[in-house]
Amino acid sequence: MKVYVHLAVAQHPHRWAEQFAAGRLVGLNEPDPYGYARAEHMGVTLIPPAVSGEGRLGRLVRMGVGALVGFDLVNAWRNRSSIMAADVVWTHTESQFLGVCALLALRRRGRTAPPRLLAQAVWLIDRWPHTNPLHRRLWRRLIRQADVLTFHSPLNLAEARRLFPQQRCELVRFGIRADHREPPRTPPAPGGARRIISVGNDKHRDWRSLVEAVRGHPEWQLRIVSTKADPELARGLDNVTIAGVTSSEDLFALYREADLVVIPLQHNLHVSGSTALQEAALFGVPTIATAVGGHEAYFPADAVRYVPEHDPAAIAAAIADLAADPAAAAAMAARAQAQMGDEGLSSESYVRAHVRLSRELLAAA
């Protein structure tokens, strides 16, 4: 089975590998984009991209066309030979899959059979109500070219099945590299000081509620690990620090020192924060998260302490509860870590799901 993984220009395998080797990809990352190369040991032949880079003018053209149609058409066109040479094409977000759909819609009929398409969406369903009507109409027509739409969350999966009832839609849980794990640390004494970290750069983080939760507790030292959080939120608070990190080792050191991880979230349908949840589990840190996005499909309620949205008091109560019973917090962290692995949450099982769906499609042809 020949597979082409169509990724964004910035995620070209060569560029990814260079950044990984230089230590510029912060987190528990794979040496290749999202671990898709794991498919090779599953009997898959991966087709490389046809194009490895672009100049300044090419980028301007690509961005201009993308602004017009709402997805990256030019990237798909440049890589059309790789796309058409594959038995199955995998994509990582809707910007890529819509580009492939457009290419398939434009192909000349009567030539060789087109590749099958696993069209993974991340933000599509969240953005759909706010997308302009012309783009929605165009995208609906293009989506018909996809063989399977895949989603990371049962929430956007359910909404997609309502929006696109004629399309096959499947849940594929996103997973990260899970071969690194550290056992939960010896629980600290009940009560007292706690070192808390919160990691993330996406727009669905609810930093304000988290800061409000720790405002009246100087014994709780909060480090928000983000380049996107507003530094003004920490003004006047000696127990709150907002700063990003520049290397994985810096991030890993924070996980190793942390007593708790808190992932405060705003409403979303796409499991925002799933990477941070999985990293915390692998480092054995008890975790509190907002109950939005569908994370219960990844970690049950006995493995992560879930709190309501926009509720600083609930976050504070959860921190206090886990601080008062560190043995229970450590047991919760162990249950979260037990969810990770080749047969659970991991890039291995994530890629295996792509392989399984691809073989199903080819067998049904």
| Chain segment 146-197, per-residue pLDDT in tens | 999 999 999 999 999 999 999 999 999 999 999 989 988 787 889 889 999 9
Name the DSSP letter for residue 55: -
Residue-wise pLDDT tens digits, 46-58: 999 998 788 899 9
Helix (H, G, I), strand (E, B) or coil at 263: strand
Separation CA 194–CA 325 (nearest Å): 12
Q: Under 8 Å CB-to-CB from 144, ≥6 apart: which residues?
A: 101, 166, 167
Q: Tell me what the mean pLDDT of segment 297-307 comes to.
A: 98
pLDDT at 108 over 80: no
Is it the case that residue 285 has pLDDT exceeding 90?
Answer: yes
Q: What domains, with CATH codes, occur in the chain?
A: 2-176+346-364 (3.40.50.2000), 194-338 (3.40.50.2000)
CB 149, CB 172: distance < 8 Å = no
Res 293 pLDDT > 90? no
**CA dihedral defined by 158, 87, 346, 304, rounded to 10 degrees?**
-10
Instruction: Fill in the DSSP letter of residue 114.
Output: P
What CA–CA distances, in Å, run from 225 to 41, 123, 199? 35, 23, 5
Percent of the chain whose predicted confidence (pLDDT) is above 90: 91
Per-residue pLDDT, averaged over 286-292, amounts to: 97
pLDDT in tens, 214-266: 999 999 999 999 999 999 999 999 999 999 999 999 999 999 999 999 999 99
pLDDT of residue 27: 93
pLDDT (0 to 100) of residue 34: 96
Question: Average pLDDT for residues 93-107, to the nearest whole number?
Answer: 95
Percentage with pLDDT > 70 across the chain: 99
For 311-327, what is each residue's pLDDT tens digit?
A: 999 999 999 999 999 99
Beta sheet of 305-307, edge-to-edge order: 240-242, 220-225, 194-199, 260-263, 287-290, 305-307
The whole-angstrom separation of Cα 84 and Cα 20 is: 29
> pLDDT value at position 192?
85
Query: What does the alpha-carbon distance between residue 317 and residue 321 come to, in Å, rounded to a whole number?
Result: 6
Q: Where are the beta strands (DSSP E) in the chain?
A: 2-6, 45-47, 88-91, 116-120, 148-151, 169-171, 194-199, 220-225, 240-242, 260-263, 287-290, 305-307
* Sign of the CA dihedral running 118, 124, 128, 133: negative
If we measure between CA atoms, which residue out of 225, 232, 213, 223 comes closest to residue 308?
213
Give buried/exposed letters for 50-88 (b at 16+ CB in 10 A, else e).
ebeebeeeeeeebeebbeebbbbbbbbbbbbebbbebbb
Q: Decide: 285 and 198 in contact? Cβ < 8 Å.
A: no
- Mean pLDDT across the stretch 205-211? 97
Residues belonging to the chain:
365
User: Quick check: 109 pLDDT over 70?
Assistant: no
Q: What is the pTM of this model?
A: 0.94
Query: What confidence score (pLDDT) does residue 53 get?
Result: 80
Q: Which residue has the tokens 């696109």?
A: 164
What's the whole-number average pLDDT of the chain? 95
